Amino acid sequence: MADALTDDDVDRLFHALADATRRDILSRTMRADQSITALSRGYDMSFAAVQKHVTVLADAGLVSKERRGRERLVRAVPARVRRARELLSRYESLWRERAAGIEAILAADDSVRGTARST
């Protein structure tokens, strides 16, 4: 994916994942494309509620809706999930860089102290 994600894009992405129903919809559509009606059978809420969740996922780019006659098939967009995962990996990188910085300082310190001790 060529385009960078804006802060709003990322807001939507993680917001879409911040709900158990939406995560379940994502799981199911990762396994197989499904219509909204088929999806809604799996949840104890109104059709409109499931429809809203699908819309949130679509706005976040995590799924797309493809028309098949009167049905819309909800199709997962794995590339977007990978994108979210990459964002999190970057936060982890920040930590590793910080840890690496600390080790470098300690290594320098040990060298100085080693020299001092050999006196």
CA distances from 44 to 28, 72, 98 (A): 16, 21, 46
Q: To the nearest whole angstrom, how small is the minimum distance from the Cβ of residue 103 to DNA? A: 27
Which residues of this protein are in contact with a copy of itself, per CB under 8 A? 7, 10-15, 17-20, 23, 26-27, 30-32, 76, 78, 81-82, 84-85, 88-89, 91-92, 94-95, 97-98
* Residue 52 binds DNA (CB under 7 A): yes
Cα angle: 73, vertex 60, 30; to 5 degrees: 45
The rounded distance, in Å, linking the Cα atoms of 61 and 10 is: 10
* Residue 14 binds DNA (CB under 7 A): no
* Residue 32 binds DNA (CB under 7 A): no
* Residue 45 binds DNA (CB under 7 A): yes
The rounded distance, in Å, linking the Cα atoms of 71 and 105 is: 61
Q: Which is nearer to DNA, 32 or 100 (CB)?
A: 32
- Residues 63, 54 contacting (CB under 8 angstroms): yes
**What does the binding site for DNA look like in residue numbers (CB under 7 A)?**
15, 18-19, 21, 35-38, 40, 45-49, 51-56, 65, 69-72
